Structure 1
Amino acid sequence: MPENTVGEDTHRITTTVNGVTQESVVDSRLSLADFLRHRLRLTGTHVGCEHGVCGACTVHLDGAAVRSCLMFAVQADGHTVDTVEGLANGDELSPLQESFARHHALQCGFCTSGFLMSAAEALREGPVDTPERAREVLSGNLCRCTGYAGLVSAVVEASDGGEGRG
């Protein structure tokens, strides 16, 4: 059996989530989304379609936006995962989160974490300072409530602020 295999269908994993090392024994088929939500109680990551289409489950794996519903928790072994809970600094929202609030870039809030994580990755890579670029960045996430105008404005404003860290 491989070193991290505990039983026939379980594995021991170590991953850093929002800066905290997490060690756990997980079922081989446990999704990363369910690991984050149910094992670690990080409920900001939402599960919508479970097919990687809606983007509500977007998290960062080693800095890259990924759909956590399409990954197994064992695939995060040895990697760094950041969730929407990691964007804020304690009780202080990130500039991107503040911009979302100012522009009413949310309504029911279900999709918000996915939009934030997609936008945060794009802002780290460079400016998102036009509505066209913001729409491109946000195009992988679906919202049934907002109409997207507030989302686009929020991302452009966050980029104009030059903070680039989500």
Structure 2
Amino acid sequence: YPLMNEHNNLKIEKIDEDSFNTIKDLRDDIKDESQFFERIIKIKEKTDECYAVMFEDKAIAEVTVTLKSADATVAKEGLRIYISGLYVKKAYRNRNIATYLISYIVDTFTNYGYKEITVLVDRTNTAAVNLYKKKGFINERTYKEDDWIFDLLILKMKNTTK
């Protein structure tokens, strides 16, 4: 991954129910404990997978992907995964860490034989929209809810092994 020199000290770890506490304090804005329990259950049931970017033994970013969903638009086992969460700690933003994580997910799941990745982005979050578009995601569908507009972006992956 073409990144700045500081990324040499980063490592990506797959999070399971036993190591989930490493990311518990990552999101300063989430105080609702039930959200954490819900995520642990999804990881345990293998509907979701979570990966953390570690720096000096601390999680500084994480991405969660959904592998199985009742909504095939979002995720379809063996074909399409959904980035259900991506977060970089405020102090580490604007250092290409999110780009690094997305590249890792694309490479990992291409090797697993998946052909597509989707993500739902709030259209007003221009940083996120630009990040995904830079990585090759295109708009597949738009959802409007009250005053919110969300775009479902999709990446069709190349060189899949299956």
Structure richer in strand, relative to its length = 2
Instruction: Tell me the TM-score normalized by structure 1.
Output: 0.31
Structure richer in helix, relative to its length = 1
Greater RCO, 1 or 2 (C-alpha within 8 Å, sep 6+): 1
